[in-house]
Amino acid sequence: MTNTPSDLKYAASHEWLSADGTVGITDFAQEQLGDVVYVELPEVGRVIEAGETIAVVESVKTASDIYAPASGTVVAVNEDLRGTPELVNSAPYEGGWLFKLDVTGEGDLMDAGAYTSANN
Amino acid sequence: MTDTPQEPLKRTPLHAAHLRAGARMVPFGGWDMPVQYSGLKAEHDAVRTGAGVFDVSHMGEFRVTGEGALAFLQSVTTNDVSKLKAGRAQYNWLPGVQGGLVDDIYIYMVRDGEYLMVVNAGNIAKDWAHLNAHTQGFDVTLTDESDRWGLLAVQGPKTPELLQPHTDTDLSAKKKNAFFQTKLFGFDVWLARTGYTGEDGFEVFAVASEAETVWDKLLAIGLTPAGLGARDTLRLEAGFPLYGHEFSDTIHPLSSTYAWVVKDKAHVGRNHISLAPSQKLVGLRLERVPVREGYPVKVAGQVVGHVTSGTSSPTLGHPIAMALVEAAYATAETFEVEVRGKDHPATRMELPFYKA
């Protein structure tokens, strides 16, 4: 079974958002994607609306758009992913985070229970 | 998504076995097929270093019989079928009448006047119509045996040693492209020393009703089930064109590096194949970003072609792609590939990217 921490919020498009504005993709999503080989990160300073395409995660076979789970400004990106994109697979909620937002408004998000039942 | 009513997906004789093995299933050429089981990279590596087994039962089999079988095959293909001997297999093309390829195929010779043709899954109906439209004047009978066979591709350097204890044939005596009837796990099968991964291996023609047991026995002796995902990365590393990507009804077949498949003989596509292709297939290497089918390929900022297949090579550890570019640029050393609006440098790499 995949891991869905209870202290995060989840988008139907499989991104998670933490209380401090950190964004990543879920354990379920990384497992569906398979081996991640490249991550295209947004530029720091970009202002984004919830639901907009903001990053791309590429596995061996496919490129998947990442959607912003909240509106706000990108204040940091995970530089470690440029050299070790596989962190998205091995630690989707820790070392594999994608970027941080200064959140001005959340999108339509679920708690862990709702996200888990939506993906079973 | 589309609202158009879809035909239900067809299932191979191994469908239940795939679900048991935990496969992720996807639609492919009208079939419900396994794209991966344990993971694409693990399956890919198993085939490169050990042995894997693919379900390729979705491919079509046509039997071609009659005194005119050879003459008929000569007229609808580009390779010289007269060079084929009983017990041997030959890669071949079905050229279109107007242009492009109807399909790329394998022909297996059973005996004089009897051949088996294996065609791509998505092209079965089209090939069948095309072939039947060209039988006039030949003493030939075509039989669609696609439902009769379960076809398994057993691929990887360890396949001969794994299969040997379970067959009554000395596999070491069977060279590449051999095609022979034998017992495997006690079942009557045909084996062909052919494949689509760049590795040694066999394709196993089993009677459809026995295919699942053969599959289970192959897994039990240590073969790794491998899905369409690994099949695609393996064939791309090996530089093998794939119909619908590097070949089509409109792409000039000599754009590929396979000019040897066209011999000097009369056939239905001779007129257009004799014209020089305006595009050439090249291999590209990128450093980091994977590139996908359809991405523009440029030289000095000018679009000269597009990617036909691309992936991140599990064996080589960097992205690779095949691309069709204007013939004048086919010898350029450096290209750019546009990915989401940004150009990324690519260098030309000789095909195949990987050779066992």
Between residues B171 and B356, the one the model is more confident about: B171
Rounded mean pLDDT, B240-264? 95
Residue (of B206, B204, B210, B200) closest to B192 by Cα position: B204
Instruction: Give me the residues of chain A with pLDDT under 50, please.
Output: none
Rounded mean pLDDT, B215-227? 98
Interface membership of B290 toward A (CB under 8 Å) = yes
pLDDT value, residue B6: 67
Given a cut of 60, whether residue B256 has pLDDT beyond it is yes
pLDDT value, residue B4: 54
Given a cut of 70, whether residue B5 has pLDDT beyond it is no
Rounded mean pLDDT, B100-128? 97
pLDDT value, residue B1: 41
Q: How far apart are CA B256 and CA B236, in angstroms?
A: 13
pLDDT value, residue B61: 98
Closest CA in chain A for residue B25: A32
pLDDT value, residue B185: 98
Say if residues B164 and B155 touch (Cβ distance below 8 Å): no
| Bond into A42 cis (ω within 30) | no
Q: With an 8 Å Cβ cutoff, are A40 and B289 in contact? A: yes
- pLDDT (tens digit per residue) in B290-312: 999 999 999 999 999 999 999 99
Give the Å distances, CA to CA, from B113 to B29, B32, B117, B156, B228: 31, 35, 13, 33, 34
pLDDT value, residue B2: 44
Given a cut of 50, whether residue B192 has pLDDT beyond it is yes
What is the least distance, in Å, from the CA of B137 to any CA of chain A?
46
Q: With an 8 Å Cβ cutoff, are A35 and B289 in contact? A: no
Q: With an 8 Å Cβ cutoff, are B340 and A37 in contact? A: no
Q: Give the pair of three-digit tokens for residue B306.
A: 């597009």
Q: Report the first-to-last Cα separation within chain A, whole angstroms.
A: 10
Question: Which phi-psi region, left, alpha or beta, contains residue B102 (left: φ > 0; alpha: ψ -120 to 50)?
Answer: alpha
Rounded mean pLDDT, B76-97? 98
Which residues does residue B303 pair with via DSSP β-bridges, in sequence order? B298
- Candidates A37, A40, A56; nearest CB to B312: A37
What is the least distance, in Å, from the CA of B232 to any CA of chain A?
9
What is the least distance, in Å, from the CA of A19 to any CA of chain B?
31
Closest CA in chain B for residue A83: B288
Q: Give the pair of three-digit tokens for residue A87.
A: 């962190």
- Candidates A34, A40, A63; nearest CB to B36: A34
pLDDT value, residue A120: 77
pLDDT above 90 as % of chain B: 96
Q: How far apart are CA A36 and CA A27, in angstroms?
A: 12
- To the nearest 10 degrees (0 to 180), the angle between helices B40-49 and B228-237 is 50
Q: How far apart are CA B302 and CA B278, in angstroms?
A: 17
Given a cut of 80, whether residue B3 has pLDDT beyond it is no
Interface membership of B22 toward A (CB under 8 Å) = no
Given a cut of 80, whether residue B7 has pLDDT beyond it is no
Q: With an 8 Å Cβ cutoff, are A58 and B36 in contact? A: no
Q: What are the residues whose beta carbons fall under 8 Å from the beta carbon of B271, sequence distance 6 or more?
A: none
- pLDDT (tens digit per residue) in B24-72: 999 998 999 999 998 999 999 999 999 999 999 999 999 999 999 999 9
CB pairs under 8 A between A and B: 42
Helix (H, G, I), strand (E, B) or coil at B127: helix
pLDDT value, residue B140: 98
Rounded mean pLDDT, B94-110? 97
Say if residues B255 and B279 touch (Cβ distance below 8 Å): yes
Sequence-distant contacts of B98-102: CB under 8 A, at least 24 apart: B98/B272, B99/B249, B99/B250, B99/B252, B99/B269, B99/B272, B100/B247, B100/B248, B100/B249, B100/B250, B100/B251, B100/B252, B100/B253, B101/B243, B101/B247, B101/B248, B101/B249, B101/B251, B101/B253, B102/B126, B102/B127, B102/B130, B102/B249
Q: With an 8 Å Cβ cutoff, are B340 and A40 in contact? A: yes
Rounded mean pLDDT, B76-92? 98
- pLDDT (tens digit per residue) in B117-154: 999 999 999 999 999 999 999 999 999 999 999 999 99
Given a cut of 50, whether residue B109 has pLDDT beyond it is yes
Q: With contacts defined as CB-CB under 8 Å, which chain A residues touch B314?
A: 35, 60
Given a cut of 70, whether residue B172 has pLDDT beyond it is yes
- Candidates A35, A40, A63; nearest CB to B292: A63
Interface membership of A53 toward B (CB under 8 Å) = no
This model of the complex carries an ipTM of 0.86
Q: How far apart are CA B256 and CA B274, in angstroms?
A: 14
Q: What are the residues whose beta carbons fall under 8 Å from the beta carbon of B40, sequence distance 6 or more?
A: A34, A35, A59, A60, A61, B227, B229, B230, B233, B314
Stated as kind and residue range, the H or E segment containing A47 is strand A47-48
Q: With an 8 Å Cβ cutoff, are A38 and B292 in contact? A: no
Q: How far apart are CA B261 and CA B209, in angstroms?
A: 35
pLDDT value, residue B260: 94
